[in-house]
């Protein structure tokens, strides 16, 4: 897979052009979004940090010259003053509301966490704005197979049956084929 970092952006005038279909990644600061990007692409293109909340901008990656992957700042553990957090929220909302090439959003969760108010708010926003979305339950290798299957069942029941849900391990690169099909074949079509 040919992958390159395009740019970081804050406002619409900074977004990359020409426009390709885009898939955005959202999730808690410690959900493993950077590890997910690296495992999905098979390259170490996103910086993995031991400190949650390092992503502060919208980071655009181009995959196979056809799809843009947009890594967004995480929520939950990101450290910043009140003005910074407010500006991140505004930046993310502007992108999600205004980007015409957005084809879908992948919500990345640590499989060991419970469905929370933040995920419920995102689910409601996706439904209200008719944005296709999927859930990736990352870090499945941190649980036994039976524990991971049980947690998958619990989260699927809590969130409803709307989007596809994938259980995977970025560190072991397991479970990615269905996610790649969604990103490239379904959402990545022009």
Q: What local confidence, expressed as pLDDT, does residue 76 receive?
A: 60
pLDDT of residue 11: 92
The residue ranking higher by pLDDT, 49 or 35, is 35
Segment 57-113, tens digit of pLDDT: 899 999 988 999 999 988 764 555 666 667 777 888 899 999 999 999 999 999 999
What CA–CA distance (Å, rounded) separates 184 from 14? Answer: 24
Classify residue 72 as exposed, middle or buried by CB count within 10 Å of its CB (0-12, 13-18, 19+).
buried
Alpha carbons 26 and 73: distance in angstroms, whole number? 7
Give the chain's domains with CATH numbers: 3-186 (3.40.50.300)
| pTM exceeds 0.85 | yes
Render pLDDT for 121-161 as a digit per residue (tens, 0 to 9): 889 989 998 999 999 999 999 999 999 999 999 999 888 76
Give 118: exposed, middle or buried? Use CB within 10 Å, 0-12, 13-18, 19+: middle
172-187 pLDDT, tens digit per residue, is 878 899 999 999 999 9
Q: Does pLDDT of 171 surpass 90?
A: no
pLDDT of residue 175: 85
Residue pair 142/111 in contact (Cβ under 8 Å)? The answer is: yes
Token pair of 184 as six digits: 């490239």
């Amino acid at each position: 897979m040919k992958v390159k970092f395009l740019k970081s952006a804050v406002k619409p005038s900074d977004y990359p052009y020409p426009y390709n279909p885009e898939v955005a990644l959202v999730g808690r600061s410690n959900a493993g979004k950077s590890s997910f990007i690296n495992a999905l692409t098979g390259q170490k293109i996103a910086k993995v940090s031991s400190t949650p909340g390092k992503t502060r901008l919208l980071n655009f990656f181009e995959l196979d010259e056809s799809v843009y992957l947009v890594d967004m700042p995480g929520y939950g553990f990101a450290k910043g003053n009140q003005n910074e957090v407010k500006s991140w929220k505004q930046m993310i909302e502007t992108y999600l509301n205004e980007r015409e090439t957005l084809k879908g959003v992948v919500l990345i969760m640590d499989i060991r966490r419970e469905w929370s108010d933040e995920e419920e708010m995102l689910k409601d926003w996706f439904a209200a704005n008719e944005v296709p979305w999927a859930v990736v339950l990352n870090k499945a290798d941190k649980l036994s197979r039976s524990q991971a299957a049980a947690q998958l069942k619990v989260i699927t029941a809590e969130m409803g049956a709307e989007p596809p849900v994938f259980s995977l391990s970025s560190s072991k690169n397991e479970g990615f084929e269905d996610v790649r099909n969604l990103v490239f074949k379904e959402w990545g079509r022009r």
